[in-house]
Structure 1
């Protein structure tokens, strides 16, 4: 852990990205508790109030929307919903997809083959199109959004975990563990998961950005999260008719989505480099030279 911290400190871009992500998580956790109901109250007198008006209440520093609600207050509340959907989707798809990939890699039978063919079918269907069809049938509830996006991301983790496990199971230490009487569960938990998890976590960081963009796209198209719930994607969609006259309504939540997606991508790429033996040796040399 200490070495990872040293590597992170040596890469100031990744360090800034990590700091920004942690700040946004803190805002999502604590922010809604600090937002009073009055801050979200509609105020038609402040309708489309421009940003950076120093003579106004600080809650209107980023402007107001079409109903006079504070952009800052709505973005803080929306942060919890947006990040919760992305985190829950990535966590569920990581756990379920990894379990499927590892089990099917260790058991070569007809059931494993059937499961992987089903995974191939899911991979062949455009994920956004599949999500649109299912949400149109089930309704645009946050739980449905999480479920649908999880289904579309499971094949990524399942395929990756299976390919990694197929290579690891042929190594000598796995054969030795089986000779000593270890069952499949023991082999998976003790020998395969520790080697597979770094790759899967790097993919999870990248998928976090993908899920955020997918959720925003679905909401922008009108089949994602709908009022009274609010997400950054919904705020962008609500401001779309006023881009010419009130650009700030869509700009700030759009920047938030882009910033989170960019930071998650940077962290995912850094984590991949940190866990690659070849690239890690270069990082070790850089960290040592800076020490």
Structure 2
């Protein structure tokens, strides 16, 4: 049994138990995506999300935030009503959501508008926690079993350098509720033109520049949107994060997060080993200046 297969089996086992607990039938559930979380579509049209182990608190916060955003008329994924959630099964958290209508990946401009609306909200009355740009990175490095020991040692040292740089981040915009993982794939557009925020598990209080950096990285690290698209993004939001003194710190952290994610994926799917080695080479300065040709991983 491959690591990917075993991951799906464990997620389905958790889904079966949680479904019985919630009164939602998981029989015949269709796997939509197997990445950081496992997403399933139940025959009833409910979307079930099964986390990796140790993510119950984050899942509970995500449900609370979804309901808070709905109450504040911010378009985001909606938690399924009238069920107790999350449900914890063998350390995994299972949550339930309304299925989105047909949709496509949002544009940089749509991301800017969605983030402006989110960042303008007053802080909620409940604790959403503080942004942790380094959450789970040490664990991902340790689990990167397809890497040589010297590569993981370099990653641990690089993580320590980034943590020290972040501790001395210069002042910027006022802190607010941030999405936490505001890349273009987490903002979608439905057929009727509604722009919807997805994946709220990293929402927290922190510098809004963290959210803005994701689109800047997409433009200037990965080259996946043009400079003109980025300029429209910055003008629509009303701020160009690349002109801020702390931008390079957040950019480097975001790039390292993407690299650690690739390491985690490669550990479960060795076919992605070339991608993690490419990203490491880029961060070490062995592949020239940005933009770099990184292939997205799940």
Does the pair score TM above 0.5? Answer: no
TM-score category by the smaller chain? under 0.3
Relative to total residues, which structure has the larger strand share, 1 or 2? Answer: 2
Name the one with the larger helix percent.
Answer: 1
**TM-score normalised by L of structure 2:** 0.24
Structure number with greater Rg is 1
Q: Which has the higher contact order (CA 8 A, sep 6+)?
A: 1
Given the two structures, how large is their TM-score scaled by the length of structure 1?
0.24
